[in-house]
């Protein structure tokens, strides 16, 4: 079963990592539903093997949930880190906008 998260839960999962090594050890990729990231659903597969099929594509079961590859975990974490350093009192909306901007 694929456990879907909202943006707050996804941010909390990344915040629980102490460093880049923990990020790489915890997540294979970040998959998200299309559209506004504030309302998006996220999946954080445990490793790259789970994140992609043998052809390097998002697995059909994940696509059926409306998810596609969003960002590499380290990049996702870097965007969060930059946002937090530049604006320590960032709202969830601010993080969603920063992630959307970088993903473009």
Q: What pLDDT does 1 receive?
A: 75
The tens digit of pLDDT for each residue in 31-62 reads 999 999 999 999 999 999 999 999 999 999 99
**Average pLDDT score over the chain:** 95
Give dist(CA 51, CA 66) in Å, integer.
14
First and final C-alpha spacing in the chain: 29
Q: pLDDT for 10-22, tens place per residue? A: 999 999 998 889 9
Q: What does the pLDDT look like over 92-103, one tens digit per residue?
A: 999 999 999 998
22 φ, ψ (degrees, to nearest 5): -65, -35
* pTM recorded for the entire structure: 0.93
Count of C-beta atoms within a 10 Å radius of residue 27: 25
Q: List all residues 6 or more positions away from 83 whose beta carbon is below 8 Å from its beta carbon.
A: 90, 94, 95, 98
């Amino acid at each position: 079963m694929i456990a879907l998260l909202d943006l707050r839960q996804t941010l909390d999962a990344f915040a629980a990592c102490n460093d880049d090594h923990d990020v790489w050890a915890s997540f294979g990729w970040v998959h998200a539903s299309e559209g506004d990231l504030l309302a998006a659903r996220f999946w954080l597969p445990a490793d790259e093997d789970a994140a992609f099929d043998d052809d390097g594509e998002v697995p059909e079961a994940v696509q059926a949930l409306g998810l596609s590859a969003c960002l590499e975990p380290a990049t996702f974490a870097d965007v969060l880190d930059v946002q937090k350093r530049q604006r320590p009192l960032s709202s969830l909306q601010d993080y969603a906008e920063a992630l959307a901007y970088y993903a473009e």
